[in-house]
Amino acid sequence: MADKYQNIGDGIYDHVGGPENVSKLIHCMTRVRMTIRDDSEVDIEGLKKVPGVLGVAQEDTLQVIVGPGVVNKVAQAMVDEVGVDLGEPFPDSAKKGTSYASGKSAVEAKAAEVHAAQKAKLKQTWWRAALKHISSIFIPLIPAFVGAGLISGIAGILANMQTAGDLGASWTTFITVLKVINGGLFTYLNIYVGINAAKEFKATPGLGGIIAGLIYLRCDCARHNSQYFYRLALSCRFWRDYRGTVCRMGNVLRRASIPQVHS
């Protein structure tokens, strides 16, 4: 089965100008999403004819539809061939065969170059760049959202059946486990978002997760400050009383040491 996915990935590479024309590759539930360096080397019609490809969409990224359950294997095979991970930049030296555009006529190449230049101008708008960053951060989480939703639905159905008396008490542990798995995503969602955001902006994923995890820290600053000032006030009062006591004892000793002069 692995050869099937590799063949689909090779067919996609053959019609997008090879790995050297791809700067980054990710996937969602059904689509392989590629950031293309030179759109003139992409053969849309040829991509649609690749066995296993269900369709092609071209927006801010080139999206090749291969279907659920297949897309993750195809995308993984494609990045493994280059030697990077999903979402990581492709090296400029990535090669696979010859470029697709090498056999095009001069007229087709010129027309594609003009089209790519016009599309590049559209990509430079700030809102397109913002949407691109947002999609790169949240699209990898879509499978997790779908899985957590399915698990939540199953847990809810089983809980209702247990309430109605159709299931016994022995199902309680299993239902609880499903709810814990479902809550795991949404409870620590900001950590996942922090890791993906760090990858998107070329930072360290671990630091992104740590910074996002700071949200979970409880800061009882007001309570701690009030306790600090209360202890400080008690300390000042102690030293004030202690100083007064020492002064009184000093006066007593001083009077006792002064010889009395009797007339």
CB proximity list for 1: less than 8 A, separation 6 or greater: none
Of 28, 219, 221, 247, which one is the catalytic site residue? Answer: 28
Residue 20 and residue 91 in contact, taking contact as beta carbons nearer than 8 Å: no
Q: What are the structure tokens assigned to 113, written together?
A: 């170059």
* Residues written for the chain: 263
How crowded is the C-beta side of 44, counted as CA atoms within 13 Å? 11
What's the rounded Cα separation, in Å, for the pair 136 and 120?
19
Structural element, H or E, at residue 193: helix 189-200
Instruction: Say which residue the tokens 């061939």 belong to.
Output: 81
Q: What are the structure tokens assigned to 257, written together?
A: 């040491």
Check if 28 is active-site.
yes
- Cβ-based neighbour number of residue 49 at 10 Å: 10
Identify the three-state secondary structure at position 35.
strand
Provide the annotated active-site residues.
Answer: 28
